[in-house]
Amino acid sequence: MPEYLASGVYVEEMSIQPKPIEGVPTGTTGFIGPCHKGPIKRATLVTSLADFKRRYGSGRTLRLEGGAVSPNYTWHAVHAFFKEGGRRLYVARVPRWQARDGENALKCFETIEEISIVAAPGSTFEHEDGGTGTAIATALIEHVERMRYRFGNGPSSPCRP
């Protein structure tokens, strides 16, 4: 604020250092994927692995709708997220890995502005039709582009010897 010393003369002290850039939170993540139990068609905030287990079940192998058996990639990703210091995670459960289910789960994240990273762990695991993983990856990319300020950790093809 200027200090008035005389009529028409005043002194204003200014810092010569630039103002620091204000940080933005990047710690809230969203995962979509199948789980043993829990709500479908909505995203739920979980703040610990114990919280995830209560709502979505354990890390044991999944039997998806239609009878397919799959490792529980969602649980393993949640476990790693909290082990590495993550604190806020939204989970949108899908009943099976189908493109439409992935798209619907990502829509659940659109109203949650604090999410900065989204992922679909395990979405490319041995799909019989061969195109499901690609469709989910495309949906993830489209979601990130539409939301503008999100980073997508997209699925990759499984490594085979």
DSSP class per residue in 92-135: EE-SS--HHHHHHHHHHHTT-TT--EEE-TTTTS--TTSSHHHH
Q: Whole-model pTM above 0.85?
A: no
- The H or E element that residue 84 is part of is none
Q: What is the pLDDT of residue 158?
A: 47
Write down the pLDDT at residue 132. 78
Band (pLDDT 50/70/90 cuts) for residue 22 is: low
* Pairwise CA distance, residues 154 & 83, whole Å: 21
- Rounded to the nearest integer, the mean pLDDT of the chain is 83
Examine the pLDDT at 154 and tell me if it is beyond 70: no
User: Would you say residue 95 has pLDDT above 70?
Assistant: yes
Q: What is the pLDDT of residues 66-84, one digit of tens each?
A: 777 889 999 999 999 999 9
- Whether the pLDDT of residue 32 is over 50: the answer is yes
- Is 124 a residue whose pLDDT tops 50? yes
Mean of pLDDT values over 55-76: 89
Calculated CA dihedral for residues 95, 97, 101, 105, nearest 10 degrees = 80
